[in-house]
Each structure stands twice: as structure tokens, then as C-alpha cells.
Amino acid sequence: MNSFGKIFKLTSFGASHGKAIGGVVDGMLPQVNLDLEAVQLALDRRRPGQSKLTTSRKENDQVTFLSGIFEGKTTGTPIAFIIQNTNEKSQDYDHLKTAYRPSHADFTYEQKYGHRDYRGGGRSSARTTASIVVAGALAQQIIPEIKINAYVSAVGDLQLSKNYTELDLNQIEKTPIRCPDLAMAEKFIEKIESIKKNGDTIGGQITCVVEHVPIGLGEPLFDKLQARLAYAMMNIPAVKGFEYGSGFGGSQMTGSRHNDIFNPDGTTKTNFSGGIQGGISNGMPIYFKVGFKPVATLMQTQESIDKNGHKISLAGKGRHDPCVVPRAVPIVEALTAMVLTDFYLLQKMRAR
């Protein structure tokens, strides 16, 4: 299952230490004047080595388009693209030929396929998300009126005290942590740096806010908008949780408190529904949170086993993020754009 989407679809290929990663996008509308600089900018926001909070791997992550674009416009045919891997250090992973890292996909890949690429995790590596970011940047150009903004809202036990809207989010790129609250951003950074010094890692949360969403996106019964968003987010490496609207907090409320009372124009006085009712967008802002676990590779020695079941001591090597959430922000935005574009195109087909 290397494809995502139904009408707007990405088929991804490549691995962390192969020659390249890339993808094929089907379903792109024809005659769209593409802003290729915007695509590269989105990719730059995800690339490694951009700050001291991320892996030191240096990749330019320049995207090259091979088909589907002519004279700056989409042709309506598949868009194929590649991103060359230029800074692999595969020797850093030689010690993993027969060893399984705790909480990594090493063990499950070997058990499922009988053969695995141990270099940087191979196909299970988060490097494959670069293709998602390219596809998401293309999708966003089909729905430019929909504004998608994600930001880091928690690192470990430190959390923002409120949700931010589109108008508040012009500050997220001012710090490497991608947090709109500059004072809290400094605390997040200090937390990550302290954890990194100890050779450890830490998890966090990303909040996504989607505004100017048209009413009617989503397909009940088994393809509800929130279900597809959850499915998308849960396919990001290291994601452990998803909640939208009031989320788990809603389970602690009464109905009289939780119900979103209508205004005469169809908007609502509150938005505990998170912009989705009955699996369909209701025109209010959509907001959700995504929880990420700590990175599994530690710069510490841990107990593990080898492929023969023997106990071993395994020390982390290579270049890894101490916390994934700063670089995961554009990934969350990209998958959100792909989901909404898919439903938008379906709605457009139905209206014909």
C-alpha cells in the first residue's frame, strides 16, 4: 500500500539510503498554473539539517519534475518527480545488519518480508515523507482558498494554553520550533536541547487549523472527513494519537455544554465539533491535534536482541532528530491538503 488518495492520489517510492525518493501524482487538474517555488519552499521546511533541533544530515532536497507539467501548467497527466539522496552515510548503520532497535520497524519488517534495508530504516524511514510534502504542495494549489496552518503546540509535558487561528500564525517560522507563542517556543527549545544533551529524545504535539473550508466535504458513512484525516495522520511515522474538535475533552462534558448552537447564518456560537458534523465539513474552522512519540533512536546504550534472539547491547549511531515535531509541521499540512483536495474533487464531480 504505497498509494494515498482516491481521486488526487500519490504513489510514493524510494528509501532513506537509496539513490532517490519520489512519487507519481494522479488526479491533478489540467491547466493549473503551478507555483513551483511554493512546492520547493514546502520541501525546504521539511528538509533535514535546518537547525540544531533537527538531524545533522545535509540534504538539499531539490525536487525535479519529470512529467505532467508543460510551460508552467499541468497537463492533466500523471506528475512524476524525484528527490535525489545526496548525503547518505550508510556505514553508520552497519551495526544493524543483524540487530533490532527497540521501538523501530526493524523487527516487524524482517518478520513480514524476510529481508530488510537496515540503512536508516529503509522504506520505514521518515525520509519518505518528503514525497508527501511535494504532493501536498501541489494539492494546495487546487484549493488555494482553503488556508491550512499547523504549528507545534506541545513538547513533552509543556503545552500551549490556547488554540491559534490563521491570523495569529504569522510568527510560526520565526523560530526553529515552529510555535506561534514566542515565549513558549523558547521553553520548547530549551526542553529539546536539554534532552538532546543526555542522548535522549522527546515527543510532542502538532495542532492544525484549517479555515475557509466549504460546506459539504466528507463522505458518510465510512469515509467521513475526520476519519480520512485521522487515517492520513496515523500514517506519518512516529504518530501515536489524533483528536479533532473537543477530542477526548468532549467526553468529560455535558451535552448542554458541548452542543454548538447555531447562528442565523448557519455558523455556530462555539466549535466543539471542530468544523465537522456527521462526517461532513460545516463551514466552521477545522482543528485537530496529532501526537508524536519520542524518536526511537537514542544516543544511549540500550538492551535489545539480534535476529537469532540473543540479547545484545545496542548503542545509537547515525544522525537523528531529538524531537520530530518541528519538521513534521509541513507533513501534517501536506496530508491535510491532500485529503481536502480529494474530497473537493469528488464534490466537484458530483456537481456536474
| pLDDT tens string 275-313 | 999 999 999 999 999 999 999 888 889 999 999 999 999
Name which of 95, 122, 129 is nearest 108 in CA terms: 122
The predicted model gives 27-42 an average pLDDT of: 96
Report the pLDDT value the prediction gives residue 121, as an integer from 0 to 100: 77
- Beta strands 286-292; 204-211: pairing state: antiparallel
What's the fold here for domain 3-350?
Answer: Chorismate synthase, AroC fold (3.60.150)
Question: What residues contact residue 170 under an 8 Å CB cut-off, 6+ apart?
Answer: none
Cell of 46: 521539511
Copy the grid coordinates of residue 200: 535522549
Average pLDDT over residues 224-248: 97
Most confidently modeled of 58-72, 93-107, 116-130? Answer: 58-72
Confidence of residue 86 (pLDDT cuts 50, 70, 90): confident
pLDDT-derived band at 167 (thresholds 50, 70, 90) equals: low
**Matching residue, cell 480529494:** 342
Of the listed ranges 63-77, 166-180, 247-261, 325-339, the least confidently predicted one is 166-180
In this predicted structure, what is the pLDDT of residue 92? 63
Query: Around 170, how many Cα atoms within 13 Å sit in the side-chain half-sphere?
Result: 1
Question: CA–CA separation, 132 vs 338, rounded Å?
Answer: 9
pLDDT at position 72 over 80:
yes
Q: Compare 47 and 254 and report the one with higher pLDDT.
A: 254
| Structure confidence at residue 203 (pLDDT) | 98
Question: Across the chain, what does the average pLDDT equal?
Answer: 92
Half-sphere exposure (Cβ direction) of 167: Cα atoms closer than 13 Å? 1
* pLDDT exceeds 90 at position 159: yes
The pLDDT of residue 55 is 66
pLDDT at 314: 87
